[in-house]
Amino acid sequence: MSTQWPRAILSERLAGEWRLVVTFPGRCSQWPEYRWQPTHEVPTIAARKQALAELGYDVLPGAQWEWDEDSDDPDDPTSRVWLLAGIAVRPVSEVIS
């Protein structure tokens, strides 16, 4: 995944809890975060866009979601896989001219 800042990261946590955080250099305790109600469905692009707007961000023009995966135990091919997605974003204040 790219490391352009700021960047929105979508991840699935335990029990189907999806969350979206906007990351940027600095303390992670200051990163804005949005959580959906637990579901095993991946939030749609429209739902992600709405969540970003609620956090005060918008997707950079031309940016696309990049998907990756992680697992509890990389040496065990049967271990739980966690999906991660990232996209470059910008504050909504930069969108308004």
Summarised one tens digit per residue, pLDDT across range 53-65 is 999 999 999 999 9
Whether the per-residue pLDDT at 82 is higher than 90: the answer is no
Of the candidates 21, 85, 96, 25, the one whose C-alpha atom is nearest the C-alpha of residue 55 is: 21
The predicted pLDDT at position 22 comes to 96
Whether the per-residue pLDDT at 95 is higher than 80: the answer is no
Q: How confident is the model at residue 48 (pLDDT cuts 50, 70, 90)?
A: very high
Whether the per-residue pLDDT at 42 is higher than 90: the answer is yes
Question: At 79, which amino acid appears?
Answer: S
Of the candidates 69, 68, 67, 65, the one whose C-alpha atom is nearest the C-alpha of residue 46 is: 65
Q: What is the mean pLDDT of residues 21-40?
A: 90
86 CA to centre of own chain: 5
Do the beta carbons of residue 16 and residue 28 sit within 8 Å?
A: no
